[in-house]
Amino acid sequence: MLRSALLAAAKSPACRSLVENAPPVRPIVDRFVAGGGLDDAVRAAKELSTDRLVSLDHLGEDTTDREQAGATVSAYQALLRALGEHGLAERAEVSVKLSAVGQALPVDGEKIALDNVRQICATAAAVGTMVTVDMEDHTTTDSTLSIVRDLRVDFPSTGAVLQAYLRRTESDCAELVGPGSRIRLCKGAYDEPESVAFRDKTEVDASYVRCLRTLMAGQGYPMVATHDPRLIAIAEHLAGKAGREHADFEFQMLYGIRPEAQELLAARGHRMRVYVPYGAEWYPYFMRRLGERPANIAFFLRSLLTK
Ligand code: FDA
């Protein structure tokens, strides 16, 4: 229930203004967000890429303003050029939310998002890196997968995200296990209705394992996005059983979450990618991270009360 309340607050302008203007909030946000600008993103990518891979996310989502969507494209292109100039393109890709590049626009949203993300993919290809398309709430799943299919015609390395909490995802995994298909499997971060999603943690975890089995046995490139130690151990086991070498799959975690586990997996020879968000639009991302772990909320509330 608390998680649902926080995810509802993530969409509330009043809560947004309250949280964004609370003076003690910045140090907590800094745990999950690399900083406000391009330089912060490049600095974080440089630091992390000594032993890990990186996926950078220019924060922003749900735009209903076409100019804003265009500005997001420019921000990604500037980021990608900077990654190229700093010699980071081999170790750093970008993650893009389609709702930040126009998918939510009332007229021609899907087409505008496709045109926009295509420009980002073209710049990524020019500097020698790739794009993974994030997955948002279930109302966008069909549209997002259709856009990924279109992008893969010209940019076959484009990654897609599947969410184990959705009942449909096992069959989506089976459809997306072709050669080279980069699939990031996560549990899912939105507040979804029972009709489309498992809401019980045990059921979500069981679905995650079923999806992992399919992805590991397939011909694609699984990206195991979880901080859950049990699922990480199962992924290692299934990869071994499928005869996959370290180069044939990767683990992924979010910036600031279980960094010691990230270092450990990298030290054991695994490909370990950190998802690094940066930018001014941190509020909805931050609220989803609070919702994932009750201890984060307690920490957040305590710091509000003690300042
Ligand atoms: P779970 O929530 O069960 O957590 C397992 C353990 O990890 C916890 O016990 C705790 O130790 C630690 N942990 C997890 N979350 C934490 C937090 N916020 N703070 C502190 N500790 C935490 N979702 C989505 O819907 N669309 C997407 O595109 C993506 N993209 C994405 C990329 C990457 C690289 C990752 C790692 C995750 C996503 N997600 C996502 C988010 C994902 O769906 C999910 O909400 C979070 O990863 C939390 O789920 P876990 O699998 O970590 O398990």
Q: Tell me, what's the ipTM?
A: 0.98
Instruction: Provide the pLDDT for residue 306.
Output: 57
Confidence grade of residue 28 (pLDDT, cut at 50, 70, 90): confident
Residue nearest to ligand 1 atom 14, measured at CA: 227
Confidence grade of residue 303 (pLDDT, cut at 50, 70, 90): low
Question: Is the CB of 261 inside a 6 Å radius of any atom of ligand 1?
Answer: no
Using the structure block, give the residue that is written with the tokens 């009332």.
106
Residue 94 and residue 56 in contact, taking contact as beta carbons nearer than 8 Å: yes
C-alpha pair distances (Å), 242 with each of 4, 199, 248, 270 = 37, 30, 10, 16
How far is CA 111 from its chain centroid?
22
Q: Helix, strand or coil for residue 194? A: coil
Q: Helix, strand or coil for residue 277? A: strand
Residue nearest to ligand 1 atom 9, measured at CA: 228
**227 marked ligand binding residue:** yes
**289 marked ligand binding residue:** yes
Show me where the domains of the chain are located: 34-281
Radius of gyration of the chain (CA): 18
Q: How far is the CA of 153 from the centre of ligand 1 (A)?
A: 30
Q: Which helix (H) or strand (E) holds 222?
A: strand 221-225
Which of 29, 94, 228, 299 gets mutated to test ligand 1 (max ligand atoms within 8 A of its CB)? 228
Mean pLDDT of 142-162: 98
Least confident of 85-89, 179-183, 190-194, 293-297: 293-297
Domain 34-281 has CATH 3.20.20.220: yes
Residue nearest to ligand 1 atom 51, measured at CA: 226
Cα–Cα nearest to 77, from 96, 60, 99? 96
Q: How far apart are CA 124 and CA 127, in angstroms?
A: 5
Which of 292, 296, 297 gets mutated to test ligand 1 (max ligand atoms within 8 A of its CB)? 292
Cα–Cα nearest to 147, from 105, 118, 104? 118
Q: How far apart are CA 168 and CA 250, in angstroms?
A: 23
Confidence grade of residue 21 (pLDDT, cut at 50, 70, 90): confident
pTM: 0.96
For residue 268, pLDDT over 90 is answered with: yes
Q: Mention every residue, 6+ apart, whose C-beta is less than 8 A from residue 217.
A: 177, 238, 242
